[in-house]
Amino acid sequence: MRLAAAIADVRAAEARIAAELDAVAARHPGEHDVVHVARALAGLAEANLAALAPHAARHGAAGDPGPAAGDPAPAAPDPALALLRDLRRLHLRYAEASIDWVLLGQGAQAARDAALLDAVTAAHARTLRGLAWTVTRLKEAAPQALTS
C-alpha cells in the first residue's frame, strides 16, 4: 500500500500551510484581519494534522513531519503588492493541500478504509475554507493594489 506516501504528502502540505500562515501574518502586521484570520486558519490546519495522526501511525507513514518553514518573502516593490504576492502563494499552498486530500481520499476509498475516508472528507472541507478565504482576500486587495 502506498497510502503512507499520500499521507506523508498531505501532512507536509498542511504543515507548510501552517508555516506560511505564520510567515504571512508576521510579514503583514498592519493587515490586522490577515493576522487574526491566519490564526483561526492555523487552528484548522492543526486540526487537520491531528485528525490524520492516528491514520498515519496505522498506515506506517513517517513520523510527525514537525514544523515546516515558511517560504521566503516574495519580491515586491511595495507593501500592497507584497500582500498580493504572499496571499497568492498561500492560495497555491492551499490548492496543493487540497489536491493532496483528493488523492488520499481516492486511495482511502479504493482501500475501503472508511475511517480514513471520513477523516479525509472532514479535513478537506477545512482546507477548502482556507482556499476560499485566500480568494476572497485577494479579490478584496487587488483593485486598490493594482490601480492606486
Residue whose CB is less far from another protein, 42 or 52:
42
Question: Can you give 126-141 as a three-state secondary structure string?
Answer: HHHHHHHHHHHHHHHH
Q: Is 26 in the site for another protein (CB under 8 A)?
A: no
Do residues 130 and 17 make contact, with C-beta atoms less than 8 angstroms apart? yes
Region of 17-25, 37-45, 57-65, 68-76 interacting with another protein (CB under 8 A): 37-45
72 binds another protein (CB under 8 A): no
- Give the cell for residue 60: 506506517
Using rule CB under 8 A, residue 135 touches another protein: yes
Query: Which CB atom, from 72 or from 147, has the smaller least distance to another protein?
Result: 147
- Tell me which residues touch another protein (CB under 8 A): 30-33, 36-37, 39-41, 43, 78-80, 129-130, 132-133, 135-136, 139-140, 143-144, 147-148
